[in-house]
Amino acid sequence: MATLTQPVGPFALGTLSAEGGAAFPGLVTAGGVLDLSRTLEWAPADIRAVLDRWEQALPVLRALATGDATPWQPLEGLRVHAPVEPRQIFQSGANYRQHVIDLEVAHRSPDDPRTVEEARAEIAAVMDRRAAEDLPYVFIGLPSTVAGPYDDVVLPAWAQQPDWELELAAVMGRAAHRVSVEEALEYVAGYTIANDLTDRATVFRRDMKAIGTDWLRCKNAPGFTPLGPWLVPAESIADPGDLRVTLTLNGETMQDESTKDMLFGIARLVSYISQTARLLPGDLVLTGSPAGNGIHWGRLLRDGDVMEGSITGLGVQRTRCVAEGAS
């Protein structure tokens, strides 16, 4: 059992189970856990069912979190699963300014006449223009990639360059279609932690270069999106645009950046996605990964590695890498 960390605010939501028992939607506070399937009048089977009635549920959850006449149980000893099973996952690419600059500089042509400093300055100017004038870059992931925050991650035998990408994930609390940037955050129920694992060797189709990226192959293996531990309500996060995203590998800090470095904030991402797709309660909007991925350090994931990912106020996830076929 991993060491569990308390999220910020009076309460959070999680999916938990006792040994040998079925998973249940839980209200998590400093005082313990409340099984919402036995407490709320509509008996939600999971957190997504709570999110389907988020506007109705939120005031009830606030009241339950401060009450003492309910059957609380200790958090210790419970297994923590991914907080929600999304129907859809929308993922933002190239959304952290410093990360994109680092990647562009690292992949310069050998005959590029610019110094590193000149290249960085020019790319930074492009990023600033993109943030002001351009559109986000968003692709779609599979819900079957979602795993618990303390589950082992199996590295497929075919994955030659498995990498980490710790990200802030927004969780939708209302269906959203063609919403404005100004109203977009009203549709967000809360936030959680996602690690968007990626096999760098299969990002691009070498056999069909004109097609470009192959997100199915490089990002959608089972368990490639460790999620959680908690879903923290949006009202408990003062500014999602100013949270610290930190990932350590075997105790060494690899990523440590503020969400201030995002080119497109959560409101712009949600609004942009909603112009085409219909976002549903429980859906995830992954906001991109900051600088410090393995490809930057020249150190990719391998059997036995342990990643710890934290975001301000959202807790800590801890996942161990296991090579496919290893005992």
pLDDT score recorded for residue 327: 58
What is the residue extent of each domain of the chain?
12-81, 89-95+137-323, 97-135
Structure tokens at 42: 């509509």
Cβ-proximal residues to 285 (8 Å cutoff; 6+ apart), any chain: 90, 92, 169, 170, 171, 172, 266, 269, 270, 273, 279
User: pLDDT-based confidence at 69, cuts 50/70/90?
Assistant: low
Q: Which residues pair with 155 in a beta bridge?
A: 323
Exposure of 266 by Cβ count < 10 A (0-12 exposed, 13-18 middle, 19+ buried)? buried
Distance spanning both ends of the chain, measured CA to CA = 19
Region 57-62 average pLDDT: 97
Question: To the nearest whole percent, how much of the chain has pLDDT over 90?
Answer: 78
Write down the pTM of the prediction.
0.92
pLDDT score recorded for residue 274: 98
Lowest-pLDDT choice from 99-108, 202-211, 277-286: 99-108
Give CA–CA dist 1/13, Å, rounded.
19
Region 7-36 average pLDDT: 95
pLDDT score recorded for residue 130: 81
Q: Which residues pair with 308 in a beta bridge?
A: 248, 318
Asked if 149 contacts 226 with a C-beta cutoff of 8 angstroms, the reply is yes
In CATH, the architecture of 89-95+137-323 is Alpha-Beta Complex (3.90)
With 80 as the cut, is the pLDDT of residue 106 above it?
Answer: no
> Between residues 69 and 325, which one has the greater pLDDT?
325
pLDDT digits (tens, 9 = 90+) for 18-30: 999 999 999 999 9
